[in-house]
Amino acid sequence: MAQLIVALDVPSAERAEALVDQLYDLDVIVKIGLEALCGYPQRILTYCEARDVRTFIDAKLHDIPRTVAAAMAQLVRPNVHLINVHALGGLEMMRAAVDAANERAAELGVEPPNVMAVTLLTSIAPEDLNELGFQGGPGENAIRLAALARDAGCAGVVCSAHEVRDLKHFFGDDFLTLTPGIRPTGSVHGDQKRVTTPAEAVAAGSDYVVVGRPIVEASDPLAAAKEILEQMSVRA
């Protein structure tokens, strides 16, 4: 069954902790992204660990293999369920990340996190790809990068919900898909260019549905999250 991940994209630890509290009873996974990691990393990670809230550390690691492995080892904790890297960092970098996650988890005696690889950001439109020198469209590039991630031992990929069916077809149901760029019907898209509704993402087979602004910017985040969980339980 698909799980909801709420992106805690807020500027202060106080607001992030308040969201964790507000959403606590829904047992969602919370996403600690760049804003939190640059602003208040230890505080929010410790808070989630103390409350036993499962986390996805959206660090999008992308550096030389040794540096990525060292960063990965710093991030592994008991309640960290997912950590990601950029597939564009290459096979060796992704392998180093997976090995470091497994080794550190064994040292700590905790479940190793699922290491996920970002194929292409969902804010990238086809014309942006050409500008960057890529050949082909987002779909075929995502598949190529996902094959590399699988060969490196990653548990799955971060991708657009539009790519989930093909990815499951090529790599099997056990290869996990985590999909941002989700917008409930009628909401604003912001900078996301390839959007899907929660129900469509679930119907496509997405394992983890990431939602940020439609929940954290809502006047009632709990009600907004409940509404999205409801939409996820209805077939598209």
Binding region for ligand C5P (CB under 6 A): 7, 9, 33, 58, 118, 121-122, 158, 180-181, 190, 192, 210-213
Calculate the alpha carbon distances from 5 to 52, 53, 102 in Å: 15, 11, 23
Strands 176-179 and 156-158 come out as parallel
Q: How far is the CB of 103 from ligand C5P (least distance, A)?
A: 26
Phi-psi sector, 145: left (phi>0), alpha (psi -120 to 50), beta: alpha
Specify whether the CB–CB gap between 75 and 59 falls below 8 A: yes
Map tokens 């080794």 to a residue. 103
Instruction: Quote the CA–CA distance of 6 and 4 in Å, as a whole number.
Output: 6
Q: Which is nearer to ligand C5P, 109 or 186 (CB)?
A: 186
Q: How far is the CB of 166 from ligand C5P (least distance, A)?
A: 16
Q: Which is nearer to ligand C5P, 210 or 224 (CB)?
A: 210
Map tokens 């293999």 to a residue. 65
112-137 residues labelled b (16+ CB within 10 A) or e (exposed): bbbbbbbbbbbebeeeebeeeebeee
Q: Which residues contact 227 (CB under 8 A, 6 or more apart)?
A: 184
The catalytic position among 31, 60, 168, 193 is 60
Q: How far is the CB of 217 from ligand C5P (least distance, A)?
A: 8
Q: How far is the CB of 119 from ligand C5P (least distance, A)?
A: 8
Q: Which residue is nearest to ligand C5P (CB)?
A: 212
Q: How far is the CB of 68 from ligand C5P (least distance, A)?
A: 17
Q: Which is nearer to ligand C5P, 9 or 17 (CB)?
A: 9
Q: Which is nearer to ligand C5P, 103 or 202 (CB)?
A: 202
Q: Is 193 a catalytic residue?
A: no
Rounded to 10 deg, the angle between the 138-151 and 91-108 helix axes is 50
Instruction: Quote the CA–CA distance of 161 and 177 in Å, as a whole number.
Output: 8
Q: Which is nearer to ligand C5P, 48 or 118 (CB)?
A: 118
Instruction: Quote the CA–CA distance of 165 and 81 in Å, as a whole number.
Output: 23
**Catalytic positions, written as ranges:** 60
